[in-house]
Amino acid sequence: MRGRTALIAVGAIVAATVAIALSITGGPMSARRERYDAARYQELVKLARILRCESQRGSSQALPETLSVESLRTYCGGIERHTSDLTDNETGEQYSYERLNSRAFKICAKFYDPKILESRRYHLNVPGYLFDYETGCISGSVR
Amino acid sequence: MTAIDSLDLFVKEGLSAGRSRQELDEALSRAGWTQREIRKALSKYADTEFTPPVPRPAHTLTARHTFLYALLFVAMAFTASYLVVIVHQLIDLQLPDIFRDVHVSPRRLRWAAAMLIVWTPVFMFMSYYVARSSASDDSIRKSPVRKWLTYLALFVSALILLGDGVYTINQLLQGDLTVRFVLKAATVAVVAAVVFYYYLRDAEEASDEG
């Protein structure tokens, strides 16, 4: 309302602040990648829960050799899942599954930046399981 | 009859009787009226020799004035408050605390950025537009809407900035880092000072012009 220079100064300060903010947190592309990573994380957690086999706690379950729709049908009293639950939504690749022994496994996904998940407070709540923020893998054992 | 009405009546009758404005001014001053009140009463009539005295058009309230000033002040309030939010978020990001910051999130930062991207240009444009319109059309500057909305805007801005102040001090009391607190408090203070400096002057000007 008074002083054109003052008005332009305000505009410049706001523009600079917004530019700094967006350069720090990343623009839309970066935000989209974070969302893909968050989705990958959620899917890995779901898989970890399935492998943990809560419903058959008493009996000793041997982990399947490979992770697939068929192998899950014979695991843990029979679990039905779609292929989409086992694959990365963005790339279509299957999440990698490594059977360490009959009771321990490691599942991994290809993240853009798994370390960011730590600062965004994605914490694994499944007891005995660990999410490695460096490699983007969940490792755990069936009780 | 109220005091102001009797003043108006006196001016009207004085001018009708052929008294000069100077004479009326002196008489009223001696009687105890303030310069502001005298000026206001005299300005109700056009400065001509014509009798009976010619009334000046009253400055009417229009929807257009309301829209212009309301939009301007809303844009100002959003710009000021989200500028504070975004700077606070940047301070938190750059000076992280080992304790998990509950309120630091890129979501909040991005929302503040989006608000500023929209509302700051609106604020700048409306400021320019109102100033330009006032230059050609005096009724905008003298509109009673301007006075009321200016004070309303100041009131809302005061509430928002005081709220920011309370929040910042609370963070300090909760054990926030000293450097962070100082920077955040300074941000609030600077923005508050700028807003109040400009708009208080504007509000006083608005009430002067009546």
Give tens-digit pLDDT for B136-188: 666 666 677 777 878 887 888 788 888 888 888 888 888 877 788 888 888 98
Query: What would the two tokens of residue A61 be?
Result: 């379950």
DSSP 8-state symbol, B45: B
- Cβ contact, residue pair B198, A6, below 8 Å: yes
| Gap between the Cα atoms of A95 and A86, Å rounded | 6
The answer to the question of residue A127 being in a domain is yes
Question: What are the helix and strand counts (H, E) for chain A?
Answer: 4, 4
The CA distance from B52 to the nearest CA of chain A, in Å, is: 39
Give the pLDDT score at A1. Answer: 44
CA A93 remoteness from chain centre: 14
Express each pLDDT in A63-79 by its tens digit.
888 888 888 888 887 88
Q: What is the b/e burial string over B153-184, where b = at least 16 CB atoms within 10 angstroms of the residue's CB?
A: bbebbeebbeebeeebeebeeeebbeebbebb
The answer to the question of residue A12 being in a domain is no
Can you give the pTM of this predicted structure?
Answer: 0.71
The larger pLDDT score, comparing residue A132 to residue B2, is at A132
Helices B63-94 and B178-209 pack at an angle, to 10 degrees, of 170
* Residue pointed to by tokens 């102001």: B4
| Residue A59 lies in domain | 37-141
The H or E element containing residue A104 is strand A104-108
The larger pLDDT score, comparing residue B104 to residue A83, is at A83
User: Residue B201: pLDDT above 80?
Assistant: no
Express each pLDDT in B93-125 by its tens digit.
887 776 656 556 788 889 999 999 999 999 999
The answer to the question of residue A123 being in a domain is yes
Measuring CA to CA, how many Å separate B14 from each of B26, B28, B30, B47? 12, 11, 15, 13
Q: What is the mean pLDDT of residues B53-69?
A: 76
The CA distance from A59 to the nearest CA of chain B, in Å, is: 40
Q: How many domains does chain A have?
A: 1
User: Residues in chain A, how many?
Assistant: 143
Is residue A4 within 8 angstroms of chain B, CB to CB?
Answer: yes
The answer to the question of residue A51 being in a domain is yes
| Pairs of CB atoms within 8 A across A/B | 63
The answer to the question of residue A18 being in a domain is no
Is residue B116 within 8 angstroms of chain A, CB to CB?
Answer: yes
The interface predicted TM-score of the complex, written ipTM, equals 0.74
Give the pLDDT score at B50. Answer: 79
Is residue B79 within 8 angstroms of chain A, CB to CB?
Answer: yes
